[in-house]
A and B are shown apart, each in its own frame.
Chain A
Amino acid sequence: MSLLQLSDIRVSYGKAEVLHGVDLAMAEGRIVTVIGANGAGKTTLLNAAMGVVPSSGTILYRGKPVPPSVEGRVAAGMCLVSEKRELFGSMSVEDNMELGGFLRSASERAEARADLYDRFPRLKERRKQLAGTLSGGERQMLALARALMSRPKLLLLDEPSLGLAPKIVAEILGIVAELRSTGVSILLVEQNARAALEIADEAHLMELGEIRRSGSTDEMAADPAVVEAYLGGG
């Protein structure tokens, strides 16, 4: 049984259809990446999976139809780190983290917070700072940490490395890779195809609102079309 199964997902903004029937299934415990050019529809796909944008088609989560609302999907164990991060800018880092664990008990929250402060010492240092005043990299960390506060089973990650220095990209993706060992499954959208293919198990190539190629990361990394367009030639 797939953890997440998307079938014939279509999304339109106004009259323009931007996802033309996407099928994608991922098994539990995997890191699956979706790569593709700007405007291919990757963000739209994650937003549709989370219920942030309305879509047609079927979404099964753990074999059952997914709850209709965003909040219901969070309660079921899904969590989206959106491309825009959607942090609470005028609230402190710590409050952002607390709210990440909104559906958890106080003790679960305390435990998750201690654990995440260990993993992100920079957030611990800045826990009283307002989220809106963090640097770009710190914001990404906070977005990821806030999502992990909910102890998700399925993490939908939209470009966690967006606009970051190479060293921090490696750091963040390293953390993502580690998450698998804690039982979190990850659907990762990345502009940085090379880095994404390194940590993922499977990859899908998206173009113009359709999935054009799918396979294991090794197959995909060897695929001439992928190499040509996304890995900067041979």
Chain B
Amino acid sequence: MEFTILAFLVQDGVTNGAIYALLGLALVLVFAVTRVIFIPQGEFVAYGALTLAFLDVGRMPGTAMLLVVFGIAAFLFDLVETRLRPGLPALARSAAINLVLPFAIYTAALFIVPTEPNAFVKALLTIVIVAPMGLYVYRIAYRPLSDATVLVLLITSVGVHLAMMGLGLAFFGAEGFRARPLTAGSFSVGFMPVAAQAVWIYGVTIAAMVGLYFFFEKTLLGKALRATAVNRLGARLVGVRTQLTGGTAFVLAATIGAVSGVLIAPITTVYYDTGFLIGLKGFVAAIIAGLSSFPVTALAAIGVGLVEALASFYASNFKEIIVFTLIIPVLIWRSLTTDHHEDD
């Protein structure tokens, strides 16, 4: 193979791998804190990408309305729950988070969209619209099941994935979209042109990892999330509410999904169902890392990206199959090297 081709493939692989790394991190995070295998992670990517694409052409994205719908549903869940134990402050809090917040974001979008804002404002607005969905999805689908087994939570995830994909179709239609890059153009490193968007992807991925590291090592809330992952009962005994850590984990996951969507929207055409396949590749990386280690997940994700890039060159018809087959030797190796212990 020619060296230039190889160099391009590697660049492609690393770029996609960086996105898979972000998604893999979100999956590890959510699983560690809540034991949920978060299949719908990819839907946030699609929502983020499609939202940005709509903002690009000056259209109001469907996700803004969807956010309000999610918020109302979450509020109704709170209402039913607090009816059993009425308390005005709790209800006011719920109304603020589930009704006022999404409505404020919707209204803000209504004003910002027609002003043709610059790329960064659009990216930020996209993230602000998609991130709170993590909280509502947690509230509606997972919080009522906080004592359920991993299997029940997994089945729930499949349901949530299908529902969110269906909502994506309803709110964005079946057409694919592509957004404009954050900064257009490219520059060359040696002989090789590197797209400015790729540099954004590397930069944001690294920044997100550093940010997560500081969050988990240095902040009390981050430590509470780790504590919940290490010992759920211990965390409750020091007053860490499961709802707080669960909600935080899902908001982080949705934020990471939205950021990934913003990053890939200019380099691939995204359809309402594109997120699933992208999320699955992050999932492959997370599984290779045993759903536990952040650094191993990131490395595995880069590996997945590289394998995918090479496969798309040599055997493009089989590239997805080759990527997903990566799991099998890893699972065999894991089942041979780790002691078996009961689920949880």
Contacts and interface: CB of A to CB of B under 8 A. Distances in A.
A50 B233 CA distance: 12
Given A87-B231, A88-B231, A98 B220 contact: yes
Contact of B234 (A68, A71, A88, A149): A88
Interface string B229-258: 011011111111110000000000000000
Contacts of A90: 230
Contacts of B220: 98-99, 102
A61 to B, nearest CB: 15
B226 interface: yes
Interface string A68-102: 11110011000110100011111100010011101
A71 B236 contact: yes
Contacts of A149: 238
B233 A102 contact: no
A42 interface: no
B227 interface: yes
A44 interface: no
Given A89-B231, A98-B220, A102-B220, A82 B237 contact: yes
Given A71-B241, A98-B220, A102-B220, A91 B226 contact: yes
B123 to A, nearest CB: 33
Interface residues of B, number: 18
Contacts of A52: 233, 237
A82 B220 CA distance: 23
A52 B237 CA distance: 9
Contact of B238 (A50, A68, A74, A89): A74
Given A99-B223, A99-B224, A102-B220, A88 B230 contact: yes
Contacts of A86: 231, 233-234, 237
Contacts, number: 65
Nearest to B84: A68
Contacts of A80: 237
Interface in A102-124: 102-103
Given A95-B223, A98-B223, A99-B223, A150 B238 contact: yes
Contact of B237 (A74, A75, A89, A91): A74
Contact of A88 (B85, B227, B239, B242): B227
A75 B239 contact: yes
B230 A102 contact: no
Contacts of A70: 236-237
A30 interface: no
Nearest to B85: A68
Contacts of A99: 220, 223-224, 227, 235, 238, 240
A97 to B, nearest CB: 10
Nearest to B230: A88
A139 interface: no
Interface centre among B230, B233, B234, B242 (most CB of A within 10 A): B234
Interface centre among B223, B226, B238 (most CB of A within 10 A): B238
Given A74-B239, A99-B224, A102-B238, 10 more contacts: A52-B233, A52-B237, A69-B236, A70-B236, A71-B242, A87-B231, A91-B223, A95-B226, A99-B235, A102-B240
Interface of B: 85, 220, 223-224, 226-227, 230-231, 233-242
